């Protein structure tokens, strides 16, 4: 939750808090992270062990590999659905200078759904999480534990709808009582 607050606080309005965050499963970026770690960080030092005069090449290569690894790690972690106290925020990070976020009000959500497909999706418990509104559907592929995320979203949505109904009911009671008192 610390990293969620650190990375996603800029998408929150004042007084808004993160309730739950759904990130992509680590297996969706395993290949990129492994390649960046091995070929960018480990391989240069193996090369240095074999050829000591290439020390500075190994240092520069490792720094570039470390930056590539960090880019892949932040890209993996930053694609998320953030369930806040006010709405769902869909955050996509496509590079250091390309980031997008969209808000979906809980009362605008018509349906939340998930799909877990394949052997690895079932074993590692990842799948596609979708949120449908009247105008579009937003999905997060390789979502970690999509069934749990869908049930949390439905619970929050129900709580918000109940709260809105109670607020509307109280407003209607006040309106009727004002009408009755003014006509008597």
| Token duo for residue 31 | 């290949």
Residues in the chain: 184
pLDDT tens figures, 103-157:
999 889 999 999 999 999 999 999 999 999 988 899 998 999 999 999 999 999 9
Cβ–Cβ < 8 Å for 125, 142: no
pLDDT tens figures, 12-39:
888 889 999 998 998 888 888 898 899 9
Q: What is the mean pLDDT of the chain?
A: 88
Residue indicated by tokens 């490792």? 62
| Token duo for residue 83 | 């369930």
What pLDDT, on a 0 to 100 scale, did the predictor assign at position 98?
A: 83
What pLDDT, on a 0 to 100 scale, did the predictor assign at position 73?
A: 87
């Amino acid at each position: 939750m610390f990293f969620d607050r650190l990375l996603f606080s800029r998408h929150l309005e004042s007084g808004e808090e993160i309730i739950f965050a759904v990130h992509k499963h680590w297996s969706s970026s395993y290949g990129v992270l492994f390649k960046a770690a091995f070929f960018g960080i480990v391989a240069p030092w193996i090369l240095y062990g074999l050829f000591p005069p290439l020390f500075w090449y190994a240092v520069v290569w490792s720094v570039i590999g470390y930056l590539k690894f960090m880019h892949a790690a932040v890209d993996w972690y930053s694609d998320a659905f953030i369930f806040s106290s006010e709405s769902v925020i869909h955050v996509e990070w496509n590079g250091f200078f390309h980031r997008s976020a969209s808000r979906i009000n809980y009362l605008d959500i018509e349906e939340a759904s998930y799909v877990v497909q394949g052997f690895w999706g079932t074993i590692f418990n990842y799948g596609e999480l979708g949120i449908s509104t009247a105008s579009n559907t937003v999905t997060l592929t390789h979502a970690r534990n999509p069934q749990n995320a869908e049930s949390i979203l439905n619970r929050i949505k129900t709580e918000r709808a109940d709260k809105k109904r109670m607020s509307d009911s109280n407003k209607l009671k006040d309106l009727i009582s004002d009408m009755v008192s003014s006509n008597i």
